[in-house]
Amino acid sequence: MKKLIYFIVALVVCGVAFESCHDNVTYADMLKDENRMIENLIKDSGIVVISQSEFYAHDSVTDLSRNEYVQLASGVYMQIVDKGSSDPADTIRTNDHVLVRFLEYNISDTMNISCSNVTYPYLVDEFRYVKSGASIMGTFISGAMYATYQKTAVPAGWLTIFPYVRDGAHVKLIVPSKMGHEASMQYVHPYYYDLRRIAFYK
């Protein structure tokens, strides 16, 4: 009987020790895992990463034939598929409303689509863009992102594109957790976005 009790106690101790080790995963460990996931995506997708200086030297465009993405200072990787309107005046202004169709892929979940509105013709995500000095923010008014995550804050990674595109743009992004939505930041998960038909209106 004593042997059985010792065996059960040993099992419980081992279980607690295992759980304790599991819980000791640090934020630094999670960031390393995130960086590895992003690096693997870049490698597996044949993405050519260019610097911001190279990007500016090429008229702030990415070469689609080379599958180029520019790495921005924020850590976001951006590919401009279509810059949008040929009219330089068709840029976003503070208090504009933005309409966008998009696909969101969870990079940490084998690139499964986690949120999208492209298959619903009646559903377009809409948010309000506000810039005050160096501060930029976006607030969802309606759409799939708000319905899925129940948060109004637009991922900061989405907002980094606006200095480079115009009305009607199409952009692809790799967004690290620090530039993502609340769930991305909480779980340290990076996301890949395909933002299509980005339109501005007052």
Tokens of 142: 């309606």
pTM to 2 decimal places: 0.86
Tokens of 31: 């960031």
Residue 192 lies in a domain: yes
Integer Cα distance of 26 and 31 in angstroms: 9
Which of helix, strand or coil describes residue 152?
A: coil
Q: What is the CATH number of the domain that holds 162?
A: 3.10.50.40
Residue 109 lies in a domain: yes
Residue 16 lies in a domain: no
Residue 185's alpha-carbon distances to 14, 22, 27, 52, 176, in angstroms, are 32, 20, 11, 25, 8
Residue 5 lies in a domain: no
Residue 15 lies in a domain: no
Least confident of 7-16, 162-171, 177-186: 7-16
64 neighbors 79 (Cβ within 8 angstroms): yes
How many domains does the chain contain in total?
A: 1
Mean pLDDT of the chain: 90
Tokens of 154: 């637009």
Residue 39 lies in a domain: yes
User: What pLDDT does 23 receive?
Assistant: 62
Q: Which structural domain, as residue segments, surrounds residue 58? A: 27-201
pLDDT digits (tens, 9 = 90+) for 92-140: 999 999 999 999 999 987 889 999 999 988 889 999 999 998 899 999 9
Integer Cα distance of 180 and 41 in angstroms: 17
Q: Identify the residue with better confidence: 75 or 2.
A: 75
Alpha carbon 76 to its chain's center: 8
Residue 3 lies in a domain: no
Q: In sequence order, what are the beta bridge partners of 102?
A: 195
Residue 105 lies in a domain: yes
Is the backbone of residue 177 left (phi > 0), alpha (psi -120 to 50) or beta? alpha
Tokens of 94: 């503070």
